[in-house]
Amino acid sequence: MADLKDFAEQLVNLTVKEVNELADILKEEYGIEPAAAAVAVAAGGGAAGGDAAEEKSEFDVILKSAGASKLAVVKLVKELTGLGLKDAKGLVDEAPKAIKEGIAKDEAEALKAQLEEAGAEVELK
């Protein structure tokens, strides 16, 4: 049991770079997806890191405004959310409004980048 505790402590104390390297090794050599590995390591880190500041794990993508190219933003919102055209237009018209809620940081940042590329003003919360 002591060996497992030591191993868990080592996992919790990994740097972001080390976690990424571990994820690469797990994927290439063992076929384990990096997202699952990162979530497992992050979950362990949150429980044991009492002194460390907790990092937010769920984000909301908020559309603040459609910007100059509203049509492109409506089409993108439709594609990203799976809503119909009318519902997507309504969501864009009601800005500021949440596009997606409670998603992972990577996914939220990807959505934000896509929406900003289409001309929208976006915020992550």
* The amino acid at 31: G
- 47-76 tens-digit pLDDT: 444 444 456 778 888 888 888 888 888 888
Label residue 124 exposed, middle or buried (CB < 10 Å: 0-12, 13-18, 19+).
middle
pLDDT grade for 37, boundaries at 50, 70 and 90: very low
Domains and CATH numbers, the chain: 4-43 (no CATH), 59-124 (3.30.1390.10)
List for the chain the helix, strand, coil content (%; round to 5).
Answer: 60, 15, 25
Q: Is 3 helix (H, G, I), strand (E, B) or coil?
A: helix
Element (H, E) at 21: helix 16-30
Three-state DSSP at 70 gives helix
Amino acid letter, 96 = P
What the block records as the tokens of 6 is: 């030591």
What are the tens digits of pLDDT across the range 72-117?
Answer: 888 888 888 888 888 888 888 888 888 888 888 888 888 888 888 8
CB-CB contact of 100 with 111 (8 Å): yes
pLDDT value for 47: 45
Supply the pLDDT for residue 52. 42
Q: Higher pLDDT residue, 43 or 119?
A: 119
